[in-house]
Amino acid sequence: MFEVGKIRQDFPFLMKAEQADPQLVYLDNAATTLKPQSVIDAVVRYYTESSVNIHRGDYALSYEVSNAYEGVRKTVAKFIQCEPNEVVFTSGASAALNLVAYGYAEKVLKQEDVILMSEAEHASNVLPWFRVAEKTGAKIEYLPLDEEGVLTLEGFKEALHDKVKIVTLAHISNVLGAVVPIKEITALTHQKGAIIVVDGAQSVPHTKTFVKDWDVDFLAFAGHKMLSPTGVGVLYGKFELLQQMDPFLLGGGSNARFDKNGHVVLKNPPFKFEAGTPAIEGVLGLDAAICYIEALGFEAIEQHELELKHYTVEKLKQFKHIKLYNEKSQSGIIAFNVIGIPTQDVAAYLSSLGVMVRAGNHCAKLLSEIIHTQETVRASINFYNTKAEMDIFIDALKDITLEKCIDLIF
Amino acid sequence: MFEVGKIRQDFPFLMKAEQADPQLVYLDNAATTLKPQSVIDAVVRYYTESSVNIHRGDYALSYEVSNAYEGVRKTVAKFIQCEPNEVVFTSGASAALNLVAYGYAEKVLKQEDVILMSEAEHASNVLPWFRVAEKTGAKIEYLPLDEEGVLTLEGFKEALHDKVKIVTLAHISNVLGAVVPIKEITALTHQKGAIIVVDGAQSVPHTKTFVKDWDVDFLAFAGHKMLSPTGVGVLYGKFELLQQMDPFLLGGGSNARFDKNGHVVLKNPPFKFEAGTPAIEGVLGLDAAICYIEALGFEAIEQHELELKHYTVEKLKQFKHIKLYNEKSQSGIIAFNVIGIPTQDVAAYLSSLGVMVRAGNHCAKLLSEIIHTQETVRASINFYNTKAEMDIFIDALKDITLEKCIDLIF
Amino acid sequence: MSDLLKDPLILRQIIMDHYEYPRNHHLVEDETYHKAHMASESCIDDITVMAKIENNVIQDVCFDGIACTISTASTSIMSELLIGKTLEEATEIISEYYKMVELLPYDEEMLQEAVAFHQVGKQANRIKCATIGFKAIETCIKEHKHDQ
Amino acid sequence: MSDLLKDPLILRQIIMDHYEYPRNHHLVEDETYHKAHMASESCIDDITVMAKIENNVIQDVCFDGIACTISTASTSIMSELLIGKTLEEATEIISEYYKMVELLPYDEEMLQEAVAFHQVGKQANRIKCATIGFKAIETCIKEHKHDQ
Ligand SMILES: Cc1ncc(COP(=O)(O)O)c(C=O)c1O
Ligand SMILES: Cc1ncc(COP(=O)(O)O)c(C=O)c1O
């Protein structure tokens, strides 16, 4: 049984939030998530008990911490179903996407090659590819999306052609929560000899990931969106692709040796990509985060999140002053506008009632042409949210007016 | 009064280390440092009380955390004596050095331009420049060092010439602890119209930094080497240079807007360099770390560290089986070898007696020609170390033999 | 003026009015105008302000863009407030406005309808919105002085 | 053999001897040798192992590089142990050696002097050192098979 009341007790933030006046309702989980006590404990344990640097076994403690760190690679590998040496730790999802764009795409793409993406991508999965295009002369093409930002297999087939060398897509969009059929799209991509990069920032935390079964080539995600500390992300890459790939960050830890004349011997993947001291406690925290999520199980997580989403959507649909953008999407993201009130004012008003949501374009700045609005308000659900919290959110929206929003500044 | 006994009580790790059997003596501070309770508290406070993402003021808490985060920029600016908008947060010193190499040097250097560095540089201040040289056709030249790795002003003057466009140097070397006269070298560099990049990873934690007074152009350092969490570093750059500089990481947060055709409007510095969710609690922890260091004061810190270094060197000099490489250096790094015993065996032996030191080439792989050894053992001191700890270290070295090292595996 | 300040209903009316019917809400194709695109600081508000300055007087101000109620209304009010003012007068008005949003003592008479934002400083996260237009016109004035 | 195993003094002697006077400690300029440079995993030990394999037999093994006592001694012992062995024998010896360092039951007879490292598994951080030469010869054998 999924007991959300019990789960919430693991999150110190939520325990305080419930006592606050007004009660705080955190619905910005697509931006980042709250941390359970077990993750906090893992971080504090590093500071108080280990605290040393990794990747060297010169003394016992360093060896232990290095082992613990490498152990997390195994945890992540099991979590997304790949091999440990295919897991590259980065400073976040953005860094992971930059690494694959710079280290792989910039190396292999040529003039006239095509990078295929959607207009719903997050800036972190757009701008690195713009640079690749600029540097290599490759072209960017966009996939057709329907008015809920959904990519259909038919649409994908039509857009795919022989010059496409890289397809890059968020598995779940951070604005509209649209879920992409990754396995089918990967198969189609491979049929054309192209490779696929998946931005899993919004999917890995909420649904089971099977990189091997799906056969995706690269997958990026961020720890902080799945209960872990900030400062840590992951790039999964097929080992043979990682071998071909250049590092993005250069420095200590990524090389075995070098000489005066510029000859450098890099380590094997994944180490050649991990220059510099990484976010050690971040990685150890990620381990605790994954354990937490796996103990709950994705089946229960998804069911709970979708139930809350549908419950909320059904209520909001009844408000004439609310426009919903993604009624049908199968994830915990609710994108809407209050007619006649700018998003920032809506968010500020909700904040005055304790409800935390995000306003604006959510770093997906190409999407406006699809959904015919520059900005949306986004409420994003995590497994620790409750129906009672959604009710506070719904009630707050019920009688929102422009006047009330403006009155906040008096 | 500098009361090391009282200071140690602020470090939970040290309190445990003193109780361990054998007592643990941490002398690998150049690799990373232990964390005081105030830093741990800052991190935990983020998790339990704020926990949300930054750089958006959509709701009250996000605004507060963003403000706290921007407040750390001011703390850092005051700490190294520059303006807040000249402080770029990165994921570490390596990332900061990669940023300046990629974003500035790769953009401005031309064929035949020269990058001047020393052979004592850490891999993180070598490999990014190798790439710049490869991409731009610029050449790397090396500064002359004496057998203690010391760069003299005379040597610098001789090596400097009109084609030198960038000088990059560690203020304090991580292997030999040699201190470079930055202010004088910066003046000479500027006379030739070149710019100077300072790797402050080992200096910023141990001696007062005055970027404006020294007039350096860029300075990189890492939080984790100065009591803060891992995953956070800083690049200082003169504002006008930051304006010219390209970002390294691209993505959410660094741009104001972009369109389908690849037109991107970046934010102003320092924000244009900070794509993706940063290490939020790392930055907040850095604030607490700087407060802690400033409360002690660099005068007291330096005095204590040098006293321990000199005390130890005087004792070790008396051991015929020990070769010291940097007797004269004015920092808390002691580089040595036990004659006839490989460094790794020495470190393992010391570890068996509770003493943690680093063995190997310390990522400064070009140095071997200068000091005529491939590897050294390095003991590195921080302000929380004591004479009693140094005595444990010295005693352990007193009767080390190859036999004893080998016997560890039985 | 002081009475007016005490009546939030009237102040709200001023803001509503300027939000729903923003004055000078257009851009011009005219090279003699200075232009400030307030885009490189935030990714929410995206306002462009244009100003024609001649003979030391702000002859015209206009603006366009996507913004929240407070950004739009405050920029609209700013445009009305500054048109026809000398650069010295404008600079003084801007400086009084900044004092007001910082909740410091300020000259009410000088700010006219802009006093509608006298309490915005209590919502620190909205200060940016309430000042975006003023920041933009400052940029235009700076550019103008630079060109002289 | 079992007695010998119980006398750390003798075992230490074996290691000391192989560290101070490593056998087959040189490299050759000979294209018919396979070569494995164990460099891209760690930045401490830097060992190159060369092996000549002909008619399914390891004809020669030699090595050079910078390494700790355990790396040097274990690689030296490995070279003596494997020269003259068929690939099947060699593979079996290597596999027994790995069992030993993992502290699992293993065949003492087969490992000869290499039993000096029978306790190294208790110092987990030295396992890498004690196996570096064996990893290298494995690479040579793999390469040889690949070439066939
Ligand atoms: C879909 C998507 N991709 C990438 C990112 C970037 O993640 P990070 O900020 O952790 O680098 C985000 C986070 O906002 C996202 O939602
Ligand atoms: C001199 C020097 N530069 C750069 C670095 C790299 O720092 P980080 O590992 O934090 O990126 C180090 C750390 O070892 C160092 O000692």
Question: What is the DSSP secondary-structure string of D87-128?
Answer: HHHHHHHHHHHHHHHTT----HHHHGGGGGGTTGGGSGGGHH
B270-279, C3-12, C78-87, D122-131: range with lowest mean pLDDT: C3-12
* Cβ–Cβ contact D1 with B under 8 A: no
Domain count, chain C: 1
Contacting chains of A (3 CB pairs or more, <8 Å) are B, C, D
Q: What is the pLDDT of residue C2?
A: 60
Domain boundary among B270, B294, B318: B294
Residues of chain D scoring pLDDT < 70: 1-5, 40-44
Q: What is the pLDDT of residue D4?
A: 65
Q: What is the pLDDT of residue B66?
A: 94
Contacts of D41 in chain A (CB under 8 A): 256, 267-268, 271
User: In terms of domains, do A207 and A343 share one?
Assistant: no
In Å, how far is A337's CA from the nearest CA of chain B? 14
Q: Please, what is the Cα angle at B96 between B93 and B99, to 5 degrees?
A: 150
In Å, how far is C19's CA from the nearest CA of chain B? 19
Q: What is the mean pLDDT of chain A?
A: 96
* Cβ–Cβ contact C103 with A under 8 A: no
B381-to-B299, B314, B359, B387, D39 alpha-carbon distances in Å: 15, 15, 15, 11, 30
User: In terms of domains, do A280 and A399 share one?
Assistant: no
Mutate to test the pocket of ligand 1, among A90, A119, A124, A169 (most ligand atoms within 8 A of CB): A124
A52-66, A310-324, B17-31, D75-89: range with lowest mean pLDDT: A52-66
Q: What is the pLDDT of residue C41?
A: 63
User: In terms of domains, do A337 and A255 share one?
Assistant: no
* D66 sits in which H/E element: strand D57-66
Instruction: State how far the Cα of C100 lies from the Cα of C107, in Å rounded to an integer.
Output: 8
User: In terms of domains, do A245 and A168 share one?
Assistant: yes
pLDDT grade for B68, boundaries at 50, 70 and 90: very high
User: In terms of domains, do A263 and A335 share one?
Assistant: no
Determine the average pLDDT of the residues in A54-78: 93
* Domain span holding position D66: 2-147
Question: Among C41, C46, C124, whose Cβ lies nearest the Cβ of B267?
Answer: C41
Q: What is the pLDDT of residue A360?
A: 85
Q: What is the mean pLDDT of chain C?
A: 92
D abuts C (3+ Cβ pairs < 8 Å): no
In Å, how far is A32's CA from the nearest CA of chain B? 6
A333 Cα–ligand 1 center, Å:
14
Contacting chains of C (3 CB pairs or more, <8 Å) are A, B
Q: What is the pLDDT of residue A374?
A: 83
Q: What is the pLDDT of residue C67?
A: 86
User: In terms of domains, do B253 and B127 share one?
Assistant: yes
Q: What is the pLDDT of residue C43?
A: 58
Q: Ligand 1, atom 15: nearest CA belongs to which residue?
A: A201
Q: What is the pLDDT of residue A170?
A: 98
CB contacts under 8 A, A 358-397 vs C, are: 359-361, 363, 365, 374-375
Q: What is the pLDDT of residue C3?
A: 67
- Chain A residue closest in CA terms to D42: A256
Instruction: State how far the Cα of B374 lies from the Cα of D135, in Å rounded to an integer.
Output: 23
User: In terms of domains, do A251 and A355 share one?
Assistant: no
* Cβ–Cβ contact B405 with D under 8 A: yes
What is the percent of chain A with per-residue pLDDT over 70, rounded to a whole number? 100
Q: What is the pLDDT of residue B31?
A: 96
pLDDT grade for A270, boundaries at 50, 70 and 90: very high
For residue range B313-355, list pLDDT tens digits in order.
Answer: 999 999 999 999 999 999 999 999 999 999 999 999 999 999 9
User: In terms of domains, do A152 and A109 share one?
Assistant: yes
* Cβ–Cβ contact B256 with A under 8 A: no
User: In terms of domains, do B201 and B267 share one?
Assistant: yes
User: In terms of domains, do A290 and A301 share one?
Assistant: no
For residue range C62-99, list pLDDT tens digits in order.
Answer: 999 888 999 999 999 999 999 999 999 999 999 999 99
* B313 sits in which H/E element: helix B298-317
Contact C61, C78 (CB under 8 A): yes
Q: What is the pLDDT of residue D8?
A: 86
User: In terms of domains, do B145 and B268 share one?
Assistant: yes
Domain count, chain B: 2
Ligand 2 neighbour B274 (Cβ under 6 A): no
Q: Which ligand is nearest to the CA of B252?
A: 1
Give yes or no for residue B396 having a pLDDT over 80. Answer: yes
For residue range A354-408, list pLDDT tens digits in order.
Answer: 999 999 887 777 887 778 888 899 999 999 999 999 999 999 999 999 999 999 9
Complex prediction ipTM: 0.95
Which residues have a Cβ under 8 Å from the Cβ of A139 and sit 6 or more positions away?
Answer: A112, A113, A114, A115, A133
Q: Ligand 2, atom 16: nearest CA belongs to which residue?
A: B174
D abuts B (3+ Cβ pairs < 8 Å): yes
Token pair 């937490």: residue: A292
CB contact under 8 A, D40 and A265: yes
Ligand 2 neighbour B174 (Cβ under 6 A): yes
Determine the average pLDDT of the residues in C38-45: 68
A abuts B (3+ Cβ pairs < 8 Å): yes
pTM: 0.96
CB contacts under 8 A, A 332-351 vs B, are: 344, 347-348, 350-351
For residue range B359-395, list pLDDT tens digits in order.
Answer: 988 777 788 777 888 889 999 999 999 999 999 999 9
**Catalytic residue set of B:** 363
In Å, how far is A335's CA from the nearest CA of chain C? 16
Ligand 2 neighbour B121 (Cβ under 6 A): no
CATH number at A384 reads: 3.90.1150.10
CB contact under 8 A, D40 and A67: no
Determine the average pLDDT of the residues in A102-120: 97
Determine the average pLDDT of the residues in A271-290: 97
* Domain span holding position A157: 40-294
In terms of pLDDT, which residue wins out, B138 or B372? B138
For residue range C92-144, list pLDDT tens digits in order.
Answer: 999 999 999 999 999 999 999 999 999 999 988 899 999 999 999 999 999 99
In Å, how far is C53's CA from the nearest CA of chain A? 32
Domain boundary among A277, A294, A311: A294
DSSP-derived letter for residue B277 is -
In terms of pLDDT, which residue wins out, B238 or C4? B238
Domain boundary among A278, A294, A310: A294
Ligand 1 neighbour A201 (Cβ under 6 A): yes
CATH number at D13 reads: 3.90.1010.10
Q: What is the mean pLDDT of chain B?
A: 96
Q: What is the pLDDT of residue D40?
A: 61
CATH number at B166 reads: 3.40.640.10
A58-62, A267-271, A300-304, range with greatest mean pLDDT: A300-304
Tokens of A408: 């906040």
Q: What is the pLDDT of residue B56?
A: 73
Q: Tell me which long-range contacts C121-124 makes (C-beta under 8 A, separation of at least 24).
A: C122/A409, C123/A348, C123/A408, C123/A409, C124/B63, C124/B67
Contacts of A229 in chain B (CB under 8 A): 231, 279, 281
B9-23, B258-272, B319-333, C17-31: range with lowest mean pLDDT: B258-272
Question: Among C15, C43, C44, whose Cβ lies nearest the Cβ of A406?
Answer: C15
User: In terms of domains, do A93 and A234 share one?
Assistant: yes
